[in-house]
Amino acid sequence: MSELKEKLKQQIVDQLNLKDIKPEDIGDDTPLFVEGLGLDSIDALEMIVLLQQQYGIKMVSSEEGPKVFRSVNTMAAFIESQKGQN
Amino acid sequence: MSGEVVITGTGIISALGLNGPETLDAFTQHKTGIQPVRHLHTRHRDDFPCGEVKASNAELAQLTNLPEHLSRSIYLSYHASREALSSLSIGELAGLRVGFISASTVGGMDRTETYFQKALVDPATGDVRDTRHHDCGKPTDYVFHKLGLKGFVSTISTACSSSANAIMLAARLLRTDRLDVVIAGGVDALTQFTLNGFNTLMIVDRQQCEPLDRHRRGLNLGEGAAYVVMMRKETAIQLEQPAICLLSGYANTNDTFHQTALSDQGNGPFAAMTSALNMAGLQPGEISYINMHGTGTQNNDMAEGNAIRRIFHPVYPSLSSTKSFTGHTLAASGGIEGVLSVLAIHHGVIYPNYTFHEPVEGLDIRPETRIKTDQEVRHVLSNSFGFGGNCTSLLFSEA
Amino acid sequence: MIRTPIFIQGAGSISPQKTWDKKILEEGFVAQQGNRWPCIEPPYSDWIDARAIRRMSRVLQRCNVAAQLAMNEATIDCPEAIVVGTAMGCLEDTWSFLSKMVQNGGERLSPTSFIHSTHNTMASHLALHFKCFGHNCTFVHRTISFENSLTDAILLLEEGAVSQVLVGGADEVTDISFDLLNQLGQIKQLESGENSPGFTDGQPGWIAGEGASFFVLGNRQTASSYARLVDVQTGAGYDPEEIASRIEEQMASLDPGKTLLLAGHNGNVGEDSITDQILSQSAPAFPVFRYKSLCGEYGTASGFALWLASHVLKQQIRPSTSGFEPLPSGELDHVVIFQQSGPHHAFIRLDRC
């Protein structure tokens, strides 16, 4: 799980081209949107692409987004739960 | 500044029909143009219904008497602009300063797609000349030349407000006496580029869209073209062109909130509508009908609804989103809805929403659900709001 | 015909010359090599913060900095309106989305390149960046996109809707677009490392340039003002004789000894012979400088010409590249920018202020 989280942080930085943030700056529980990293709705869509590209997880609606992308912890948990389903 | 600007001709092609009468007929019969994809080559054929013009490129070529293998935008643009000019001969324009102002977001992207699909598989295949159609100005120049015009030409691209801005620029060039007659509007053909692009934004409805509804799921894409012929009142008299209506107000603002979303309170839309009303010297209560931008996305309908509430609450004019019939035709939408506004005044009709169940949460805005005929339609507000915060409102008034 | 005094209060340009650095006015322009002239880029991160820059393609960064340069000179933080011309739009993002769409069959596509592929991205990015709620428009009509934008800006000032407006033009050349133009036979064929032939080799083809040029136009003459914008005209569908008589009419009131004509020759022998025909009929006595010998050919190159014209009038610099007759050394009071391309011609006149 912690390996997954570290990988995720690097992938987030790459996918969103976060030039001013290093993966290690992102805490497992740091809010990714608004008050935390300050990401926005376009970033949420980019993260959906990230999940599809890197983990083969297809989200058909953006409604789950806010819950899944709250933090690296929630994203990792979501990825694990999807693995369980396959 | 001289003279009122009048509309003397209209042309329209969309999923609802090939011309004005067919379009009105579709509303009368309450027939939506949003159907499974037939002509666009796409893997998403079965995923997303679209407001396609019901003719293949070959059929459009035949209809317009143009060569095959042009970009679809050229056929649509030429067809609609010819209808708009049907009561004027080019000979009558001799000695007048004439303009053609079109609008486009995709230009000839369909031809570029054709080339890339071949060349990316095997660089030796694909005809690179297809890419000469790529840019947005190409269809405008082609149609301008084909119409036999000489004078001022331009193309505007402000996403979904593009052709509303074309009509607005035409009015300003007329009012400052730079031009005498302008054909203004816009075109966009459906392309894989736009369908896939909107799909990445996850705002495309997989069913018939339901704008202005609490349970709306997104937009349907459409295609088409529409143009109006505009001139100062005195030119219309001189050319013996009956004025169908006036363009009494217009405004262009920027919402300046987000690249792909409007502010919740609809600040840009509020400013555009308010400025257009002020320019025309009208009170909100005098508006007969609002043709809303009404895309069917969560964000637009909330923001636009809030802006309308701020101006009109508690007494709303009749309103609807005709995109529930045509789909969202992007750069053409301001022109298509502008022509619908003109026809509303001309024929005394108010257009419905295709469906409506429950208002958007927190708003008391209820669109018409059946066409209303024999109405006294005096002033119509037409909204066009686009990505990048581009907001334009046009106000059409009886002549 | 412009019915109100309009001044160029600030000017900024990113181009194949180091135009973002004022030292160029003393050091002069450099001769270019090859058939593709990329912009000399400023250090963008000095101008745009890291958070904002992360989604911006190169052309957006150029627009942003060129706009800042113009606004700094005009000492404004936010324009009242923004108008941009771009012939081809944000090509890098367009090709990126298109290529991935074809390769991935429509799956796993990034929304950012789609969002930024739309032509109005430049003007709307600037609106967001500078928080400008006013009029915002984008013109995309081929080689007259920039002139169309000037016309819109002039209308705004004439209408009294604003007292100043940010107006610009930008286009980029990318690997893919250069390759396409090459395949279409539009690019001048040169041996690698060969010096650019100064636009007078008598051969077909042109040299691909790119750039972003922005201006603050205002209704007052300020200390920073470069020149007065006196006229902007475009026309389509006219034959060379008609264009010549239209231009002749414009030139009639100008003194050839005090006027510089910046002409849009692009080195393509076929197109240039039409330009020459028009100018020999309409302005035979006027000194001509071929400005695209500095910036290359692109849809909004006349934006670079306006930047150049502004400095010719204010600083009285004389542009030069080898192979042309020397320009008049006396004081210049007027610059006329003329271009003819395909069915279009355009005319811009600036007066010293």
Q: Which domain holds residue A12?
A: 2-85
Domain boundaries, chain B: 5-238, 248-398
- Residue C221 CB-density burial (10 A; 0-12 exposed, 13-18 middle, 19+ buried): middle
Q: What domains appear along chain C, each with residue ranges and CATH number?
A: 7-228 (3.40.47.10), 231-352 (3.40.47.10)
**pLDDT per residue of chain C (353 residues) written in tens, 0 to 9:** 899 999 999 999 999 999 999 999 988 898 888 899 999 999 999 999 988 898 899 999 999 999 999 999 999 999 999 999 999 999 999 999 999 999 988 788 989 999 999 999 999 999 999 999 999 999 999 999 999 999 999 999 999 999 999 999 999 999 999 999 999 999 998 765 566 655 777 889 999 999 999 999 999 999 999 999 999 999 999 999 999 999 999 999 999 999 999 999 999 999 999 999 999 999 999 999 999 999 999 999 999 999 999 999 999 998 876 555 668 788 999 999 999 999 999 999 999 99
C115: left (phi over 0), alpha (psi -120 to 50) or beta: alpha
The reply to whether C160 touches chain B by the CB within 8 Å rule is no
Classify domain B5-238 at the CATH superfamily level.
Thiolase/Chalcone synthase (3.40.47.10)
Interface touch B157/C120, C-beta < 8 Å: yes
Q: What residue spans of chain C are helical by DSSP H?
A: 24-27, 50-53, 58-73, 91-104, 111-115, 121-130, 145-158, 175-183, 240-251, 269-282, 292-295, 301-314
* CATH classification (class only), B248-398: alpha beta
- Indicate the SS3 state at residue C252: coil
Nearest beta carbon to residue A46 from set C49, C51, C110: C110
pLDDT in tens, B191-233: 999 999 999 999 999 999 999 999 999 999 999 999 999 999 9
Residue count (chain C):
353
pLDDT in tens, B291-310: 999 999 999 999 999 999 99
Nearest beta carbon to residue A19 from set C54, C109, C115: C54
What is the pLDDT at residue C272? Answer: 94
pLDDT in tens, B243-292: 999 999 999 999 999 999 999 999 999 999 999 999 999 999 999 999 99
Choose among C269, C274, C271: nearest CA to C244.
C274
Residues of A in Cβ contact (< 8 Å) with B259: 42
Residues 26-65 of A with CB under 8 A from B: 40-42, 45, 48-49, 61-62
- Indicate the SS3 state at residue B223: coil
- B6 within 8 A of B233, measured Cβ to Cβ: yes
- What are B33's two structure tokens? 């143009």
- What are C258's two structure tokens? 């005090």
- What are C141's two structure tokens? 């009509």
| Number of domains chain A is built from | 1
Nearest beta carbon to residue B144 from set C89, C116, C237: C237
Distances (CA, A) of C205 to A68, B75, B313, C298: 54, 31, 61, 13
Which CATH number covers residue A18? 1.10.1200.10
Do B5-238 and B248-398 show the same overall fold? yes
- Residue B94 CB-density burial (10 A; 0-12 exposed, 13-18 middle, 19+ buried): exposed
pLDDT in tens, A40-85: 889 999 999 999 999 999 887 777 888 899 999 999 999 999 886 6
How many residue pairs from chains B and C have C-beta atoms closer than 8 A? Answer: 188
Query: What is the torsional sign of CA C93, C97, C102, C103?
Result: positive
